[in-house]
Amino acid sequence: MTAPADLLDRLRDGELRLYELEDHVDAETAAEIRRRFVEDETGTALEVVGSYTFDAADAEANIENMVGAVQVPVGVAGPVTVDGSAANGEFYLPLATTEGALVASVNRGLSAIENSGGATARVTDSGMTRAPVFRVAGVAEAETVVEWVDGNIDRLRETAESTTSHGELLGVDPYVVGDNVFLRFVYDTKDAMGMNMATIATRQAADVVERETPAELVALSGNLCTDKKPAAINAVEGRGRTVTADVVLDRDLVGETLNTTPEAMVEGNTRKNLVGSAKAASLGFNAHAANTVAAMYLATGQDEAQVVEGANAITTMDAREDGLYASVSLASLEVGTVGGGTKLPTQSEGLDVLGLRGGGDPAGSNADALAEVIAVGVLAGELSLVAAFCSRHLSSAHEELGR
């Protein structure tokens, strides 16, 4: 094995690239050498970044050119009782964030929900998408391609599913724009978030489309999927899990816990989350769904960039005789409990706190449950923030917590 000092000298001389270190030493040593190199090049001490508890080899599937780890504080909120199609029982929510007052806010909302007997949540749709774009000569050829796809779904399903032992092709939706044909493949990816699964399966299916039709593949992702970008198609058709959580809060409880009234909450939600969002042409009609989604994504090893779609939510509130009805509907919450970042040690512990690590029985139930719990957390955050606005306590809460 080459001595670390020699490898460091070769990096400095430009004879070796950062990503080539693992060809000569183990992952832990490679990370240490890179760290020393970056320290020398930038004049920055990376002592804290270099202090982490997991084996660098555990992260090889998740990161390139590793030098260390960034630690994000993790708080816990709850417990809260969830009556879901997959999540049933009492849950503590792990939240990783650097925003002061967020965990306190979610915890206040969860307290109100719990004191009302818990929240109900349901996954109403599920499907991970990948949408390749093909080139055709014109609309006549586009029609030929669409007709062939419609008549050969079983063949495409067989081809796509041959690449995975778990995924299932649910359907293929065609879209024609001039000489472009987009085919939006939709998959049931069970407990995996499923982006890689969908990509590999679609690649094989696209080869069949090219062989059997005039279409020529231009890009395996034609942005009609749509991944990690704001998109109305996700708000309407969904992507990942489509999930809704709701609760009815007793009128007296709204006053005691949230320091306001159902009527004030409804007005605040309507003017801010609905009218304000509509005027802004927002794709999300909510107060701060992204806050809770991001914090739970980081704590449980989800793809953090998919907060873009995950926060695509609508919050509704209605004053009823017995109190306040509140709901949040998330159209495209992309989550998994196997694969990706869920395998990292700290993120695995986050899933363990929820009791949702690994594959569920039946397959897909753990990811469904995670989506339902996140939705309840988002609902709690919405209740708390809207109440803070209505009672004019938002700035004072941040001041009190030193934020």
Model confidence, pTM: 0.94
Q: Report the candidate in 266, 293, 94 with the shortest Cα–Cα distance to residue 258.
A: 266
- What is the per-residue pLDDT for 197? 95
pLDDT tens for residues 213-246? 999 999 999 999 999 999 999 999 999 999 999 9
Find tokens 């030193």 and name the residue: 402
DSSP state of 288: S
* Angle between helical axes of 365-390 and 251-258 (0-180°, round to 10): 70
Q: What is the distance between the alpha carbons of residues 385 and 366, in angstroms, rounded to a whole number?
A: 29
Q: What is the distance between the alpha carbons of residues 338 and 190, in angstroms, rounded to a whole number?
A: 9
Three-state DSSP at 321 gives coil
Q: What is the distance between the alpha carbons of residues 378 and 370, in angstroms, rounded to a whole number?
A: 12
- What is the per-residue pLDDT for 4? 87
Q: Say what the alpha-carbon torsion angle 50, 93, 308, 169 is, to the nearest 10 degrees.
A: 110
- What is the per-residue pLDDT for 180? 98
- Whether the CB-CB separation of 297 and 97 falls below 8 Å is answered with no
- Contacts for 60 with CB less than 8 Å, ≥ 6 apart: 22, 27, 66
Task: Given the residues 39, 83, 99, 349, select the one marked as catalytic.
Answer: 99
Q: Where are the beta strands (DSSP E) in 85-194?
A: 88-96, 119-130, 133-135, 168-177, 180-188
- What is the per-residue pLDDT for 70? 94
154 classed as catalytic = no
- Whether the CB-CB separation of 163 and 204 falls below 8 Å is answered with yes
Query: 74-125+242-400 adopts what CATH topology?
Result: 3.90.770
Q: How many CB atoms lie within 10 A of CB 39?
A: 16
CATH number of 132-219: 3.30.70.420
Quote the mean pLDDT of the chain: 95
DSSP bridge partners of 76: 94
- What is the per-residue pLDDT for 26? 93
- Whether the CB-CB separation of 133 and 215 falls below 8 Å is answered with no
Q: Report the candidate in 211, 202, 215 with the shortest Cα–Cα distance to residue 157.
A: 202
Task: Given the residues 173, 303, 304, 349, select the one marked as catalytic.
Answer: 303
pLDDT tens for residues 159-210? 999 999 889 999 999 999 999 999 999 999 999 999 999 999 999 999 999 9
Q: Report the candidate in 293, 258, 255, 288 with the shortest Cα–Cα distance to residue 273.
A: 288
- What is the per-residue pLDDT for 395? 45
- What is the per-residue pLDDT for 398? 47
- Whether the CB-CB separation of 338 and 359 falls below 8 Å is answered with yes
Long-range contacts for 201-204 (Cβ within 8 Å, ≥24 apart)?
A: 201/130, 201/160, 201/161, 201/163, 201/164, 201/167, 201/169, 202/130, 202/132, 202/160, 203/163, 204/159, 204/160, 204/162, 204/163
Residues of the chain with pLDDT under 70: 1, 392-403
Q: What is the distance between the alpha carbons of residues 281 and 279, in angstroms, rounded to a whole number?
A: 5
Radius of gyration of the chain (CA): 24
Q: How many CB atoms lie within 10 A of CB 252?
A: 9
Q: What is the distance between the alpha carbons of residues 35 and 59, in angstroms, rounded to a whole number?
A: 16
